Structure formats: C-alpha cells, structure tokens
Amino acid sequence: MKMSWFRAFPPLYPLQMNDAANKIKKSRVNVRRPDVMERVAAEVAIHFHSTVVEKLRDKGGKMTVGNTTLLLAEQFGFCYGVERAIDLAYASRKVFPDNRIFLIGEIIHNPEVNRQLREMGIISLPWMELTAGYDELTEDDVVIVPAFGAPTRFMDKVEERGCYVVDTTCGDVMKVWRRVRGYAKDGVTSIIHGKSNHEETLATSSRALGENGDGHFLVVLTTTDVDYLCKYIRNGGNKAEFLAYFIDHYSDGFDPEVHLQRVGLANQTTMLQSETEEIQRRIRKAITDRDGDDTAFQVFDTICGATQERQDALFEMLKKPMDLLLVVGGYNSSNTAHLVEIAEPELPTFFIRDASCIQSLQEIVHYDLHHREEKTSDYSKLFSADRPVTVGITAGASCPNNLIEETILKIFELRGIDREALANL
C-alpha cells in the first residue's frame, strides 16, 4: 500500500542516478497531470471561490444597497503565481496520497490558505534555518518549495535527502534569480531592494552568490539605508561602521571598498514601484558622482506584473470618493503591506486579516504597519449606521476571494443588509 501512489502516478520525469553521491536521486516531480488538475480545480474553487466577488466584479466593482456603497479595486487578490502554487500543493496531495508531504515555510503569506494545506496533512518546515528536521527527510517524502522559492542550501539539502520535489517557485521570482546570477558571473555585486528576512529575498540572496559561490550582495530596505550606502559610494568611509550598519544584510566576505565598485540593482518582486524607482535614481547618481558616468551601475526592474497591477488599480480607485478602505490579506504579506502604504496618506485605511476583524460598527481590529502590531481602532464616526458610507476594498496577491466575500458580507450585515438581499441583486 505504501507505494501505491507511485504505481498510480509515476513521476513524469525519470528517476536519476547521481554517480558522485552514488545514490538515487529523483528529479523534480511534475504533478500537473490533466486528471489531477481537474480535481484540484474543483477543490480549490470550493475552498476559495466567491460568487459575491464575481458578481461585484461583473458590476464594474461597485455595489450600492440602501445607504451603503462598496467599491472593489479593478485588480485584487490571487495572482497567477499564487494560483499556480496553490494548485501544485493541492495536486501534490492527490499524486502522493500516502506519502509525508512537507512545505518549506508557507506556500504563500495567507493564514487561511496555509490552514487548508495543514488540513491536508502538509507539514510546514522551518524556512529561516536548516534545522535537524531536514536531516530526517527520507526518499519517500515530498517537499514543496513555496512560490517565493527557497535558498540554495535548502534545495541542496532536500536533493541530498533524495526527496520528491514539487517546485512552485513563481516564474517572476526566477527572473530575478537569473538577473542576480548574471551579475555574479560578471563580477557585479547585487544590491537587492527587499526585506532581508523575507523568504523571497533570502532565496534571491543565495542566487546572488552565483554558480561558483564567489558573488556578493547587499540588501537595502529603506531610503535611509540607500542614503547611507550612497554616501559610502561617493566618499568612502569607515568600513567597520558600514558593516555594522548593514550587519547580516550582506554576503560573507563583503568588503564595501571592493564590492561597491560595480553594482547591479534588483528588487524583491513585491516592492513599492515608486520607492524602487527612487532607489534606482539615488544609486545611479552616487555612482555617476563617483565615476563621472554610470557604467558601473546596472539595473533591472524586477517588480512583478501582478504587484504592479494591484498598485496601479489602487491608485485609480483612490481617485474615487471613499470614506474608508479595507485592505485584506496576511499581515506578513509584502505586496499587501505596500497597498496599505499607498492608501494610508489618502484616507482612513485598515489592514485586516479577514472579516472577523470588523467587530462592530464601532471597532475594527487591524494591523498597524508602523508599530508592527495588531490593534483595535474606533471608527464609529466613519461608519455610523444612519449615515451614507462608501467602503473601498482591495486585497493582496495572496488573499483568496472567499475572504474578500466574507468582508463584503460583514459590512453589509453590520449596516442591516442581509445575505438574501445581496443574493437577489
């Protein structure tokens, strides 16, 4: 019984012999079999689809009932990379019904999606450190690589253990890897604009070391980081202080006097476009001030299309009058946080996990990006039942439609409009 999955669904790629290690290793497994994907599509739809969201989209993203108007951004929620990653995770369970299945970290940054995978018996492994648990993986185990990818040392370990690998890394993330590997090949240091403790940036940093492991990288996040970097590029400075400022954000052996001579910029795919452009501009200017031209500077904009579309759609939406905006998504989701940053200066904006955060017409639980904590705010002035209100909703690329639907229904419910009334619209 243990190997029944293998007879039923042999991997599409043949098993391979690694002569050097003298042990059998398996190729990455393609679980995208038509029969499997048909069942996956049905299950994913049950878990994450929403007829209310579809209806609202069909109505041009606007719905008014009584004195309550709801606006939905033109682009929101699941992106193609996330949809693919979820499909492949679900398919893994179907192709390997009897095997242990592990996931490096989280498939995406959404608690509801990760909960569904846990219910299927898919076990999350640590993603910051290669813990002893990785040494206990066996050749019968399946390991799913999340949409963000995973650092090379994790991939090497999983391969060394001979596990079946289902790689859901998004193609847009892999484009960044190609770029930073190219920088390393040409002796160019990668400056990575991203969060140094984000899965994707960790994975990208490991590729910036290049095929031979002798490449270098530096991770910058804020414009303050960039200004510090630019000052050093222009004038040099105290190397020890520089390394202390960026501690844990650069490759082993990084020497600012050597490794800032030729630099190439890349960014985490989910950063804020305007910030990334500003960072490009500042570094290019610093190099030009130092060298007289910018030939020692390369840049490749690696913000993905889905992130860009969601940011652009929000800018469009903000042109319309709204009383408040709800941004739905996981609190650790980078692209969702950037939507909040875009909207916050314009109107009251609340970053919520799901509908349960909207506790009443008076109170909303939401994530405060500045203090990095969840808190409860009183928003009764904005939302009293007797005054007309327009609520905007958008959601990050990792947020399923069913969570958006519950948020919409909760708002209408608090305003005295029940589900049946909405069903007849």
Residues acting as catalytic residues:
200
Q: Indicate the residue among 6 and 80 with the shorter CB distance to ligand SF4.
A: 80
Q: Sketch the per residue contact string, 250 through 279, with ligand SF4: x for CB under 6 A, - otherwise.
A: -------------------xx---------
- Picking from 272, 263, 114, 267, the residue whose alpha carbon sits closest to that of residue 200 is 267
CB neighbour list of residue 160: distance below 8 Å, 6 or more residues apart:
21
Give the tokens for residue 85: 């990653």
- The reply on whether position 79 binds ligand SF4 by CB under 6 A is yes
# of chain residues touching ligand SF4 (CB under 6 A): 15
Work out how close the CB of 78 gets to ligand SF4 at its nearest, in angstroms, rounded to a whole number: 8
- The reply on whether position 82 binds ligand SF4 by CB under 6 A is yes
- The reply on whether position 88 binds ligand SF4 by CB under 6 A is no
Contact stretch for ligand SF4 (CB under 6 A) within 35-43, 69-77, 79-87, 291-299:
79-87
Distance in angstroms (rounded) separating the CA atoms of residues 306 and 172: 10
**Can you tell me which residue has the tokens 């001979």?**
162
Contact stretch for ligand SF4 (CB under 6 A) within 3-11, 123-131, 300-308, 367-375:
300-308
Tell me phi and psi for residue 129, to 5 degrees.
-130, 145
- The reply on whether position 173 binds ligand SF4 by CB under 6 A is yes
Query: What 3 state SS string does 93-115 have?
Result: HHHCCCCCEEEECCCCCCHHHHH
Q: Indicate the residue among 108 and 226 with the shorter CB distance to ligand SF4.
A: 108
- The reply on whether position 172 binds ligand SF4 by CB under 6 A is yes
**In terms of C-beta density within 10 A (0-12 exposed, 13-18 middle, 19 or more buried), how is residue 291 classed?**
middle
- The reply on whether position 203 binds ligand SF4 by CB under 6 A is no
Work out how close the CB of 110 gets to ligand SF4 at its nearest, in angstroms, rounded to a whole number: 12
Work out how close the CB of 307 gets to ligand SF4 at its nearest, in angstroms, rounded to a whole number: 5
Q: Taking CA 158 as the corner, what is the angle to CA 99 and CA 9, rounded to the nearest 5 degrees?
A: 35
Give the tokens for residue 106: 């989280």
Q: CB–CB of 269/307 below 8 Å?
A: yes
366-425 binders of ligand SF4 (CB under 6 A): 397
- The reply on whether position 180 binds ligand SF4 by CB under 6 A is no
The runs of H, that is alpha helices, within 166-219 are 171-185, 199-207
Distance in angstroms (rounded) separating the CA atoms of residues 370 and 368: 6
Work out how close the CB of 267 gets to ligand SF4 at its nearest, in angstroms, rounded to a whole number: 11
Give the tokens for residue 236: 């040099």
- The reply on whether position 81 binds ligand SF4 by CB under 6 A is yes
**Which positions lie near ligand SF4, rule CB under 6 A?**
79-82, 147, 170, 172-173, 269-270, 304, 306-307, 335, 397
